[in-house]
């Protein structure tokens, strides 16, 4: 294997995201907005591009239109270099009428796309997580270990470990056992409070991947974690790469080392937003040495009139008129009228909050108008009759229906 291998990346972005409902009622999980101006998919794409991996296939499936539009607007690489691309690939159904039946099946259905580039390595990453990662460091580990398959992994709290593939690895990283979402996950030998979990990010030698996928297809296998990895461990050199050792330039001392979040539930999604706030956030979005790319929004800067803003993020195009914000994130082209109060809230693009609205621990999806004097997040019984409410009390106001209109100088847009 050469020291500078030819790499093709496959990003699995077809996740339905049922646990993020109602934010995924009209969009796939990778397309869910995150932070002030991003979508969840932007993080994996930024990691790949910052790692100088420019040949990327993005496999989509469920409710993919908003994701397709986002990629079209935001992720055009240099068209004069044909080897640099981010190509959106829906199910081709070349093997029959079925959509992608699992992670391995999705890659198998697109194996010919991969092989025509004759890559040395295939990087298969998920599109569902918030993190920074220098993928080239994982590639270097793969080459140094003479691995044929490498799985990115990190310690997770034992109480959460049953949601992941759990790895038993030797001191050099060689994987001895892999258990997909076990009901009773084994803890780390050195830390009984944590287990070693797969991040769902893999590197394969191309020949090993192609052979495993074709054999797996004959055997009816559908998933990497459930089917292919446990089988490959028996015959191939499969190693775990410890993500906690990954070092990205520009990360500040106060940030959480090896920050990685699976934002697959409303509570996890909400908490990850809180991690962006504060003078010393756990995950600082401002890092010029490892930029997170997203849409090139052309709207104006936000405007503030008699507003009180404490520990909050307000994005472009907003109009904040006499409102009070605390520990909140307000996305593009949001109107907050007089006497609006937000406390630990996420307000997505093109929403209007009328005079006197009070929100506490509320997520407001796009295109909503919250009428004057409405209080949400203060009466759980009332909130549950109207909206989705998590066990921890976070209220989600689903996406509204206002599209392609103007309201009080704030432009509303489709998607």
- pLDDT, mean over the chain: 92
Among 17, 105, 110, 100, residue whose Cα is nearest residue 66: 17
Q: How far is residue 15's CA from residue 28's CA, in Å, rounded to a whole number? A: 6
The answer on pLDDT for 1 being more than 80 is no
**Total Cβ atoms within 10 A of residue 382:** 13
Q: Given pLDDT bands bounded at 50, 70 and 90, which one contains residue 98?
A: low
Among 129, 343, 158, 393, residue whose Cα is nearest residue 166: 158
What SS3 state is found at 140? helix
Residue 243 sits at φ, ψ, to 5 deg, of -60, -25
| Cα angle for residues 403, 267, 127 (degrees, 5° grid) | 70
Among 377, 372, 379, residue whose Cα is nearest residue 397: 377
Query: Where do the domains of the chain lie?
Result: 7-262, 303-411
The answer on pLDDT for 365 being more than 50 is yes
Of residues 352 and 405, the one with the higher pLDDT is: 352
The residue-averaged pLDDT of 320-343 equals 97
Residue 236 sits at φ, ψ, to 5 deg, of -120, 165
Among 364, 365, 370, 367, residue whose Cα is nearest residue 410: 367
Q: pLDDT tens, 267-281? A: 999 999 999 999 999
Q: pLDDT tens, 370-412? A: 999 999 999 999 999 999 999 999 999 999 965 443 444 444 4
Q: Given pLDDT bands bounded at 50, 70 and 90, which one contains residue 415?
A: very low
Q: pLDDT tens, 130-179? A: 999 999 999 999 999 999 999 999 999 999 899 899 999 998 999 999 99
Superfamily of domain 303-411: Hexapeptide repeat proteins (2.160.10.10)
Q: pLDDT tens, 39-89? A: 999 999 999 999 999 999 999 988 889 999 999 999 988 778 888 999 999
Fold classification of 7-262 (topology level): Spore Coat Polysaccharide Biosynthesis Protein SpsA; Chain A (3.90.550)
The answer on pLDDT for 413 being more than 60 is no
Q: What is the DSSP string of 25-76?
A: SSS-GGGSEETTTEETHHHHHHHHHHTT--EEEEE--TT-HHHHHHHHHH--
The answer on pLDDT for 313 being more than 60 is yes
Q: CA–CA distance from 170 to each of 144, 174, 177, 269 (Å)?
A: 16, 5, 10, 33
Give pLDDT, residue 169: 93
Lowest-pLDDT range, 47-61, 85-99, 212-226, 238-252?
Answer: 85-99
Report residue 387 as tokens. 């909206």
The answer on pLDDT for 20 being more than 90 is yes
Give pLDDT, residue 410: 45
């Amino acid at each position: 294997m050469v020291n500078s291998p030819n790499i093709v990346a496959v990003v699995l972005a077809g996740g339905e995201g049922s646990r993020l409902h109602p934010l995924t009622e009209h969009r796939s999980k990778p397309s869910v907005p995150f932070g002030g101006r991003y979508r969840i998919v932007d993080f994996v794409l930024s990691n790949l591009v910052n790692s100088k991996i420019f040949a990327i296939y993005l496999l989509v499936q469920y409710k993919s239109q908003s994701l397709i539009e986002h990629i079209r607007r935001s992720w055009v690489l240099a068209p004069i270099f044909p080897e640099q691309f981010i190509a959106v690939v829906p199910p081709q159904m070349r093997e029959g009428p079925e959509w992608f039946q699992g992670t391995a099946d999705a890659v198998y259905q697109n194996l010919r796309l991969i092989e025509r580039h004759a890559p040395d390595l295939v990087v298969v990453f998920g599109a569902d997580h918030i993190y920074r990662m220098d993928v080239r460091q994982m590639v270097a580990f793969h080459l140094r270990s003479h691995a044929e398959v490498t799985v990115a992994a990190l310690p997770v709290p034992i109480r959460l470990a049953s949601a992941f593939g759990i790895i038993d690895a030797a001191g050099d990283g060689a994987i001895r056992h892999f258990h997909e979402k076990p009901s009773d996950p084994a803890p780390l030998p050195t830390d009984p409070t944590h287990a070693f979990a797969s991040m769902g990010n893999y590197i394969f030698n191309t020949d090993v991947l192609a052979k495993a996928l074709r054999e797996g297809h004959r055997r009816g296998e559908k998933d990497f974690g459930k089917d292919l990895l446990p089988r490959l461990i028996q015959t191939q050199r499969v190693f775990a790469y410890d993500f906690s050792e990954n070092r990205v330039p520009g990360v500040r001392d106060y940030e959480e080392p090896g920050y990685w979040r699976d934002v697959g539930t409303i509570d996890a999604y909400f908490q990850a937003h809180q991690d962006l706030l504060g003078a010393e956030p756990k995950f600082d979005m401002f890092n010029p040495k490892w930029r997170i790319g997203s849409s090139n929004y052309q709207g104006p800067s936000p405007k503030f009139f008699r507003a009180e803003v404490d520990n909050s993020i307000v994005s472009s195009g907003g109009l904040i008129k006499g409102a009070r914000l605390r520990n909140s994130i307000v996305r593009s082209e949001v109107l907050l009228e007089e006497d609006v109060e937000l406390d630990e809230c996420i307000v997505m693009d093109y929403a209007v909050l009328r005079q006197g609205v009070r929100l506490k621990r509320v997520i407001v999806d796009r295109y909503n108008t919250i009428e004057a004097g409405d209080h949400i997040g203060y009466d759980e019984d009332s909130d549950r009759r109207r909206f989705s409410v998590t066990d921890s009390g976070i209220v989600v106001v689903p996406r509204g229906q206002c599209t392609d209109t103007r309201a009080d100088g704030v432009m509303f847009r489709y998607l």
